Structure 1
Amino acid sequence: MMEAEHTSMTIPYLYETIAFLLTVVIVVPLFKRIKMSPILGYLAVGAIIGPYGAAVIHDANAVQHFAELGVIILLFTIGLELSFARLKSFSKLIFGLGAAQVLVSASIISGLAFWWGNTIEAAVIIGLCLALSSTAMVMQILHERSESATTYGRASFAILLFQDLAVVPILILLTILGDTSSGDSSLWLTVGSALLKAAITIGFIIFVGRFLLSFLFRHVARLRNIDVFTALMLLVILATSVITGLAGLSMALGAFLAGLLLAETEFRHQIESEIAPFKGLFLGLFFMGVGMNLDLVMAFEYGVWVVLSVVGLLALKATIATLFARLFGLSWQDALRTGLIVSEAGEFAFVVIGQATLSYQLIEPNIGQFMVVVAGLSMIFTPFLAMFGKWLADKYNLSQTPNAAPDALHDHIIIAGFGRVGQAVAHILTQQSIPYIALDTNADEVRRLQKQGAHIFLGDASKQEVLHMASVDNASVLLVTMDDSHASIRTTHGARQHHPELKIVVRSKDEQHSTALLHAGANQVVPETLEASLQLCAHTLQASGMSREEATACVEIERSEAYSRLLHEAKAIGNQNPACDKP
Structure 2
Amino acid sequence: MPDSSLLIVVVLLATTVVLVGLLKWLRLPAIFAYLLTGVLLGPHALAVVPDLERTRQLAEFGVVFLMFSIGLEFSPAQFITMRRLVFGMGSLQVLASLAAFLGMAAVLGLGWRSGVVVGGILAMSSTAMVARVLAEKMESASRHGRIAISILLFQDLAVVPLLVLIPALAGDRAALPAALAFAGVKAAVVLLILLVLGRPVIRPWFQLVAQRKSSELFTLNVLFVTLGLAWITEAAGLSLALGAFVAGMLIAETAYRYQVEADIAAFRDILLGLFFITIGMLVDLRLILADLAWILALLAAILIIKGAVVWGSCRLFGFEQGVALRTALVLAQAGEFGFVLLSLANQFHLLPAPVLQPLLGAMLMSLMLAPILLEHNGWIARQLVGSYRRSRERALREIRGIQLKEHVILCGYGRVGQSIGRVLEEEGIPYLALDLDPARVRQAQSAGESIFFGDASRRDVLLASGLADARALVVTFGDVTISRRVLAVAAQLQPQLPILARAHDDSQIAILEAAGADEVVPEVTEGALMLASQTLLQLGFPMSQVLRRVRRFRQERYHVFRASFWGGSEPGEDRDSPRLLSVALGDTGWAIGKTLAELDLPALGVQVTALRRRGIRGRDPANSMRLRAGDVLVIFGDPKSLQAVEQFLLEGPDAGAFATPNKD
**TM-score with structure 2 length normalisation?**
0.63
**1:12-46 Cα deviation digits (max 9, x unpaired):** 5x344323432443233333333333333333333
Q: Is the 8 A contact 1:156 1:342 kept in 2?
A: yes
Residue 379 of structure 1, aligned match among 359, 364, 367: 367
Contact 2:294/2:358 (8 A) holds in 1: no
SS class of match (2:211)? helix
C-alpha deviations, 1:174-230, integer Å up to 9, x for none?
A: 5665445536xxx55433332222223323333334322332322222222211111
Q: Which amino acid aligns with 2:260?
A: I
1:118 aligns with 2:114: no
Task: Output aligned runs, 1:491-510, within 5 Å.
Answer: 494-495=511-512, 502=519, 504=521, 506=523
For the pair 1:284 / 2:273, whether they are aligned, the reply is yes
Are 1:107 and 2:96 matched, yes or no?
no
Return the alpha-carbon distance in structure 2 between the equivalents of residues 254 and 493 of structure 1: 39
Q: Within the alignment, does 1:156 sit opposite 2:145 as a pair? A: no
Distance 2:337 2:261 in 1: 26
Q: Is 1:51 the equivalent of 2:43?
A: yes
Task: Say which SS state the counterpart of residue 504 (structure 1) adopts.
Answer: strand
How far apart in 2 are the matches of 1:394 and 1:232? 51
CA separation in 1, counterparts of 2:304 and 2:190? 37
Secondary structure of 1:95 counterpart: helix
Post-superposition Cα deviations, 1:345-367, rounded to whole Å, max 9, x if no partner, equal: 3455556566667746x654423
Structure 1 residues 344 and 465 mapped into 2: Cα distance closer, same or farther (>3 Å)? Answer: closer
| Native 8 Å contact 1:398 1:458 kept in 2 | no
1:174–1:457 CA distance, 2 compared to 1 (3 A): closer
Over 3 Å counting, the alpha-carbon distance change for 1:143 and 1:276 in structure 2 is: farther
Cα displacement (A) at 1:252: 3.6
The percentage of counterpart residues that share the same residue type is 32
Q: 1:372-399 deviations in whole A, cap 9, x for unaligned?
A: 3333433343333323326547985879
Deviates more, 1:372-381 or 1:468-477: 468-477
- Measure, in 2, the Cα distance between the counterparts of 1:60 and 1:155: 41
Q: Tell me: CA distance 1:145–1:49, structure 2 relative to 1, closer, same or farther (3 Å).
A: farther
Among candidates 487, 498, 512, match of residue 467 of structure 1? 487
Q: Could you give the per-residue CA deviations for residues 246-274 of structure 1, whole angstroms, max 9, x where no partner exists?
A: 44555444434433433343323322332
Q: Which residue of 2 aligns with 1:235?
A: 224
Higher Rg of the two aligned structures: 2
Return the letter of the residue paired with 2:359.
Answer: M
Q: What residue number does 2:57 align with? A: 65
Tell me which residue corresponds to 2:208.
219
- Contact kept, 8 Å, 1:442 with 1:458, in 2: the verdict is no
Query: Which sections of structure 1, spanning at least 5 residues, go unmatched?
Result: 1-5, 481-486, 507-516, 528-552, 561-577
d(CA) in 2 for partners of 1:359 and 1:41? Answer: 27
Give the 3-state SS of the residue equivalent to 2:334 in structure 1.
coil
SS class of match (1:51): coil
Determine which of 428, 432, 439 is the counterpart of 1:433. Answer: 428
Choose 329-338 or 103-112, whichever is displaced more: 329-338
Deviations 1:524-583 (A, max 9, x none): 6889xxxxxxxxxxxxxxxxxxxxxxxxx99974999xxxxxxxxxxxxxxxxx9599xx
Matched, 1:370 2:362: no
More helix by share: 1
The Cα of 1:301 is off from its aligned counterpart by 0.4
Q: In structure 2, what is the Cα distance between the partners aligned to 1:41 and 1:320? A: 30
Q: Indicate whether 1:293 and 2:290 are aligned.
A: no
User: Cα 1:289–1:411, aligned 2, differ >3 Å: closer, same or farther?
Assistant: farther
Pair 1:23–1:505, CA change in 2 (3 A): same
Query: Given the alignment of the two structures, is residue 325 of structure 1 paired with residue 314 of structure 2, yes or no?
Result: yes
SS at structure 2 position matched to 1:166: helix
Structure 2: gaps (5+ residues): 384-388, 458-476, 542-555, 562-664
Alignment partner for residue 39 of structure 1, among 31, 41, 45?
31
1:295 is displaced (CA, Å) by 1.9
Contact in 1 for aligned 2:199/2:250 (Cα 8 Å) = yes
Look up the match of 2:3: 9
1:523–1:579 CA contact under 8 A, matched in 2: no
Q: RMSD between aligned alpha carbons?
A: 4.4
Q: How many residues align?
A: 504
What's 1:85 paired with?
77
- Give the distance between the partners of 2:141 and 2:452, measured in 1 at CA: 22
Once residues 524 and 414 of structure 1 are traced to their aligned partners in structure 2, the CA distance between those partners, rounded to angstroms, is 25
Q: Does structure 1 residue 205 correspond to structure 2 residue 194?
A: yes
CA distance in 1 between partners of 2:540 and 2:378 (Å):
46
Deviates most, 43-52 or 488-497: 488-497
Contact 1:241 1:255 in 2 (8 A): yes
Aligned pair in 2 of structure 1 residues 221, 200: CA closer, same or farther (>3 Å)?
same
Please, which of 169, 180, 183 is the counterpart of residue 191 of structure 1?
180
1:238 deviates by 2.2
Change (3 A) 1:554 1:323: same
Greater mean alpha carbon deviation, residues 350-359 or residues 193-202? 350-359
CA distance in 2 between partners of 1:329 and 1:16 (Å) = 55
Q: Which amino acid aligns with 1:386?
A: L
Asked if the contact 1:504–1:523 (Cα under 8 Å) also holds between the matched residues in 2, the reply is: no
Query: Which of the pair has the greater relative contact order for Cα pairs under 8 Å at 6+ separation?
Result: 1
Q: Distance in 1 between matches of 2:127 and 2:540?
A: 45
1:458 matches 2:455: yes
Q: Give distance in 2, aligned partners of 1:201 and 1:173.
A: 16
Q: Secondary structure at the match of 2:46?
A: coil
CA contact (8 A) 1:326 1:335 kept: yes
- Partner of 2:189, secondary structure, is helix
